Structure 1
Amino acid sequence: MNAQLFAELISKIKIGKHLPEAIYLHKDAFSALPPELQSFIPAVAKAVLLDDENWDLVKLFKKDFRISLLSYPTFYQDSYPTLKQSMNVDLSKLKHKITSYEQTDNPPILHRKETMVLSDDPHYQEFVDITQEGENAGLYENTRTIGFKRNWETLIQNKGFTLVDGRLFRNSAVIKPQESDSIDRHKTAIVRYGLSVPMKLLSKHGYLNGEHSIFDYGCGRQDDLTELNAHGLDATGWDPNFAPDNDKCESDIVNLGFVLNVIEDQEERIEALLGAWDLTQKLLVISVMIANEEYIAQFKPYKDGIITSINTFQKYYAQAEIKGYLERSLQEEPIAIAPGIFYIFKDKIAEQQYLQNKYKRHHKWEQRTSPIKLDSKEKLQLVIAQNEILFQSFWNKCLELGRVPANDEFDDTHKVKELIGSNKKVFELLKETYPKEEYGKYQLAKTEHTEDILLYLCMELFEKRKPYIHQPDSFKRDIKVFFDGYQHARDSAKELLFSIVDTENIEQECIKAHNTLPASLLNEGHSLIFHKDYAEQLPLLLRIYLGAALQMYGEVDDDIDLIKIHIQSGKLTLTAYDDFEKSVPMLVERIKIKMADQDIDFFDYVNKEKRPPLLNKHLFLPESQVQYKKQLSFDRRLAKALEFEHVDEVMMTRSEFESSLLQVNKKISGFKIASK
């Protein structure tokens, strides 16, 4: 069976529940399938070691060489059975993934079961009657949210019915009891004196440049909108409490900022998510509150969240929990941007452009100012000299791309073509004309651009993203020039990605990084610590290691100062200090990302008395920095006073630090160590 034959066979299927993307069919109806599929589907289940009792339905994809084996163990017993487990089998990649819904409060459910069996099935007429009841009750008027259990049950109640033994009965005489707890949702909308974090991230990534329309779904007191409108941006919003009369309008970018976590009703929560997705044309930004169990434990539990001290509801998520919720609800792959903040692209070209740009180094190439030394015998070189600005601009474009630009990538291609010829000919001539160090810059740009693409492809593989056929033209050109084809590029990336589990490789690359970074601390065999500003200067393998860890966390934000790569354990630690410019900064937050466990531990040092000091800070400053000598002098004096080595990582609690100062009768004032 290959993809072409599979597609041909799928196109011939007349039975089953037909949706735009797939066909659903119970395995009891396989006798009506083409013979090839009758034998092929069970063979796939056997190949992935899935027992017959663990799947009942098959989902056959119309556009992909892919099937899903679905477990609905109560298919014949329940009118609207719930999904227990799904196994998605990608036949083109020979990969499979299992998703369990057993612990999910709001699992997917089935409707219109009669379409999934044959007309001679003993249960066929019963299934037809169940569906007709739903049609008569008006349950299928809006099919957007009915695919989930709680949403379906709520819809039934709202239509004035109840389920008794799986059948609908009118329930107009039953009065729905009021909740004993009244949640003050309006109190969750805080007053902002600057852009919210999701909006700041949109600005950072270039989405607030005026090219995109923006809709804020749940805009609260509209502080973000006021600021965006002041910049002349096309930004509108809606909020059930503060802007209920505003229209909900489709926009390029929709922001669902800290909305899902304040809705206590799970059905309403998913309706808000799907509603925001429906309005999205290019990018949906989703933000929720993240907290650990210790923090949550201090509040009163309510439903799947807590009641705060001001009588508001909060549903605090773990990073993996919200990511999984979004995947299940939207059937899309969220991209972690920061803890609790995700991008989901509806425009897949825009998604690829974002991901590729994310892993690019950002350099500002210095303009050449000295005139080119010419060979008076070379006419073409004379042309270059006479049009220096034009050809310098062309060369800078070569440095930017790491390759010869295509005609549409250099605005003045027609000018250089009239003067000399094709872009390739111009490049070869400039390579001979310019000093050798300029060609060295080009070679470096080519190497770095190649590494950036490999990093992007590694992250695509790590997240198991589907490779998109539609790619920006510039990316296609990069692949052709740097790798001679997309498959070769992916194979190279796969080999690199697998090598991050080799601790010997990681250790060697950490040693290399320590010898090349402007500043770092190497604890041999254990870890490499460096300032976040030097992350892009890491060797490629360590950039991949760092990128793989950050797939769970998101981007390293401005608050983070130091990064620690653990050589042996597959972990990454991010640390933030109260003021990194101080002589002895104090730790305020530590984040440990555990790749093997796919988990993140957050450690907040809210109590100032418990914040550990960062000693020997000069180890993380480059010698070229103005403050380096001052910090080094301070660290030497402090190390001598407290009797520790000034060239090592020194770890102690704040109480130990202050006790040591007290014992030697010293105090710190700025970069001075004085007697008390």
Structure 2
Amino acid sequence: MTTSRAISRERTAISRDRLSVPARRALDQGVITSNTTVLDYGCGRGDDVHRFQAAGITAAGWDPHYSPEPPPSPADVVLLTYVLNVIDDLREREQTLQHAKRLARQCLVVSTRLRWDDVRGDDHVDGVVTSRSTFQALHRPREFRLWVGLITGIRPLSGGPETAYVFNSSAARLAFVHRAFTDTDDGDHGAQQHPLRQLVAHLERHGRMPAMDERPQLIADLTTEYGTLPRARRAAEQIVTPGVTIVAARRRTADLVVALAMDAFHGRPKLADLPPDVRADVRAFFGSYTKAYRTAEQLLKAAGQPEHICRSVQSARTGKITPTSLYIHIDAIHRLPAILRIYEACAQVLAGRPTDTTIIRLRYDTPAISYLSYPTFDTDPHPEQRSATDVDIGFLRVSHADHARSLNPPILHRREEFVAQDHPMRAAWSRLTAEETADGLFDRPDIIGSRTGWQKVLSQKRKR
């Protein structure tokens, strides 16, 4: 477990031709926005900083070797990207995390290397010393988040298996949670459009009228244009497709209880800390915050009871059901009943959802979730599985299998079974499946689930 070689931390800094995974994810998940100031603490060669600056985001970097001056200053979001894992002194590692947290006004983004990363070397402390005399600590997702929470005093949220978000305010945390579990585009409201068009878009998106604290300018414009909000609504209802608002209301209700259930791990938040649109959802769909939160708590409890999961899987209208599991494309996860979404979200709390997830497997014979990666799902009729991350919720264990170099990786067939009914390619994929079924390509389900078996069936078919 010891090494006599000197460790050169600066050698871990690499040049990137794109944003690092944690930085890109923080941007995609709305933790970093165009109005956010960013500090990359331990920025290495500064590639993330340069790319943020090129995108118009105020960003600065500090690194003890490459950019030691000026000293780091506080920012809205502080990135601690693959820094802690290069520090072999455990006390220094803790101090670095604490210092980075003090610099973060809104959120600290912490990322590390994982046990299943392809990093080899001589054992040292809780990691390895590589052939380049660099150190890499290797962590398990759950243990890493627990440690971050212990040192910072704040329970972090998952940004992925290797990333933890430490929010310094409950309002910022709640905004992130509700974005993460809401299947609604709440970006540009089209403020340049006529107020009636804006109202129609809001009704179709939210399933309810806008609230004053949510869209004050739109309310004012509608009142000026139509005299009263009921008149404006009647005008909008002449344009809105029948039934759309009902579907939107159901979706928003489910989104709300899922997000509240997930934030229950942090204790009951204050209503005032909820984003304005979420407060409006509470009033419109539940009448009171107490009723909304009680519903979320009940569903969270039910998600831990196998009989409820089993019944919900059997009633699901989207995804492929097998004797043990429900498989569903990640883009369709919001189509599942709220209890199943909470069930999957519990795995996110434990391990984080990998960014390259394509298919999610929800087991109902045992409490476990799997995140499966098929990079060519959209383009390959029979995509190969690149990796699988299995989360055993019952035993709090996470395992990972990498098939990138495998000579016989798993193969996926019948892609239409995993996506939503309105997926644009579902009909075409169904036709292909019908043709391949008629050709007898699926007659040997015992062997076609892997590359070797599938190639064997195709070879035999060509010889006929």
When the two structures are superposed, what TM-score results if normalisation uses the length of structure 2? 0.88
Residue 286 of structure 1 corresponds to which residue in structure 2? 110
Does residue 406 (structure 1) correspond to residue 211 (structure 2)? The answer is: yes
1:455 corresponds to which of 249, 254, 258 = 258
> Could you tell me whether the CA contact under 8 Å between 2:41 and 2:63 is conserved in 1?
yes
Does residue 545 (structure 1) correspond to residue 347 (structure 2)? The answer is: no
Q: CA deviation at 1:247?
A: 2.3
Q: CA deviation at 1:498?
A: 1.7
Q: In structure 1, how many angstroms separate the alpha carbons of the residues matched to 2:29 and 2:228? A: 35
Q: In structure 1, how many angstroms separate the alpha carbons of the residues matched to 2:247 and 2:449? A: 42
Q: Secondary structure at the match of 2:369?
A: strand
Q: Which string of whole-angstrom CA distances, capped at 9 and with x for unpartnered residues, describes residues 444-480 of structure 1?
A: 222221111111111122x243524641344333323
Q: CA deviation at 1:627?
A: 4.0
Residue 136 of structure 1 corresponds to which residue in structure 2? none
Does residue 492 (structure 1) correspond to residue 295 (structure 2)? The answer is: yes
Q: CA deviation at 1:641?
A: 4.8
Q: Which string of whole-angstrom CA distances, capped at 9 and with x for unpartnered residues, describes residues 106-133 of structure 1?
A: xxxxxxxxxxxxxxxxxxxxxxxxxxxx
Residue 395 of structure 1 corresponds to which residue in structure 2? 200
Q: CA deviation at 1:291?
A: 1.5
The gaps in structure 2 that reach 5 residues or longer are none
Q: In structure 2, how many angstroms separate the alpha carbons of the residues matched to 1:659 and 1:396? A: 52
Q: In structure 2, how many angstroms separate the alpha carbons of the residues matched to 1:475 and 1:579? A: 36
Q: Secondary structure at the match of 1:254?
A: strand
1:423 corresponds to which of 207, 229, 236 = 229
Letter in 1 for 2:437: R
Residue 361 of structure 2 corresponds to which residue in structure 1? 564
Q: Secondary structure at the match of 1:501?
A: coil
Q: Secondary structure at the match of 2:78?
A: strand
Residue 465 of structure 1 corresponds to which residue in structure 2? 267
Q: Secondary structure at the match of 1:248?
A: coil
Does residue 310 (structure 1) correspond to residue 132 (structure 2)? The answer is: yes
Q: In structure 1, how many angstroms separate the alpha carbons of the residues matched to 2:171 and 2:424? A: 41
Letter in 2 for 1:548: C
> Could you tell me whether the CA contact under 8 Å between 1:215 and 1:254 is conserved in 2?
yes
Q: CA deviation at 1:655?
A: 3.8
Residue 635 of structure 1 corresponds to which residue in structure 2? 436
2:411 corresponds to which of 605, 609, 613 = 613
Q: In structure 1, how many angstroms separate the alpha carbons of the residues matched to 2:246 and 2:235? A: 14
Residue 510 of structure 1 corresponds to which residue in structure 2? 313
Q: In structure 2, how many angstroms separate the alpha carbons of the residues matched to 1:279 and 1:287? A: 16
Does residue 234 (structure 1) correspond to residue 234 (structure 2)? The answer is: no
Q: CA deviation at 1:582?
A: 1.6
Q: In structure 2, how many angstroms separate the alpha carbons of the residues matched to 1:320 and 1:641? A: 42
Q: Secondary structure at the match of 2:36?
A: coil
2:329 corresponds to which of 519, 531, 550 = 531
Q: In structure 2, how many angstroms separate the alpha carbons of the residues matched to 1:393 and 1:575? A: 39
Q: CA deviation at 1:637?
A: 5.8
Does residue 321 (structure 1) correspond to residue 143 (structure 2)? The answer is: yes
Residue 244 of structure 2 corresponds to which residue in structure 1? 441
Q: In structure 2, how many angstroms separate the alpha carbons of the residues matched to 1:613 and 1:391? A: 49
Runs of 4+ in 1 over 6 A off after TM superposition: none
1:352 corresponds to which of 139, 160, 174 = 174
Letter in 1 for 2:298: E
Q: Which has the larger radius of gyration?
A: 1
Q: CA deviation at 1:259?
A: 0.2
Does residue 574 (structure 1) correspond to residue 371 (structure 2)? The answer is: yes
2:88 corresponds to which of 260, 264, 269 = 264
Distance 1:642 1:441, change over 3 A: closer
Q: In structure 1, how many angstroms separate the alpha carbons of the residues matched to 2:33 and 2:126? A: 39
Letter in 1 for 2:330: K
Q: CA deviation at 1:439?
A: 5.2
Letter in 2 for 1:479: V
Matches within 5 A, 1:580-591: 580=377, 581-591=379-389
Does residue 200 (structure 1) correspond to residue 56 (structure 2)? The answer is: no
Report the RMSD for the aligned CA atoms in angstroms: 2.9
Does residue 482 (structure 1) correspond to residue 276 (structure 2)? The answer is: no
Q: CA deviation at 1:393?
A: 2.5
Q: CA deviation at 1:339?
A: 0.9
Q: Which one scores higher on RCO, CA 8 angstroms, separation ≥ 6?
A: 2
Letter in 2 for 1:193: D
Residue 644 of structure 1 corresponds to which residue in structure 2? 444
The gaps in structure 1 that reach 5 residues or longer are 1-178, 368-387, 667-673
When the two structures are superposed, what TM-score results if normalisation uses the length of structure 1? 0.62
Q: CA deviation at 1:245?
A: 2.2
Q: Secondary structure at the match of 1:552?
A: helix
How many residues align? The count is 452
Matches within 5 A, 1:45-64: none
1:603 corresponds to which of 397, 401, 407 = 401
Q: CA deviation at 1:496?
A: 1.3
Q: In structure 2, how many angstroms separate the alpha carbons of the residues matched to 1:313 and 1:594? A: 30
Q: In structure 2, how many angstroms separate the alpha carbons of the residues matched to 1:184 and 1:624? A: 51
Q: CA deviation at 1:583?
A: 2.7
Q: CA deviation at 1:659?
A: 4.7
Distance 1:459 1:259, change over 3 A: same
Q: Secondary structure at the match of 2:412?
A: coil
Letter in 2 for 1:628: W
Q: Which string of whole-angstrom CA distances, capped at 9 and with x for unpartnered residues, describes residues 174-233 of structure 1?
A: xxxxx9431011110111010101111122123444201111000001111121222232
Letter in 2 for 1:257: T
Does residue 522 (structure 1) correspond to residue 321 (structure 2)? The answer is: yes
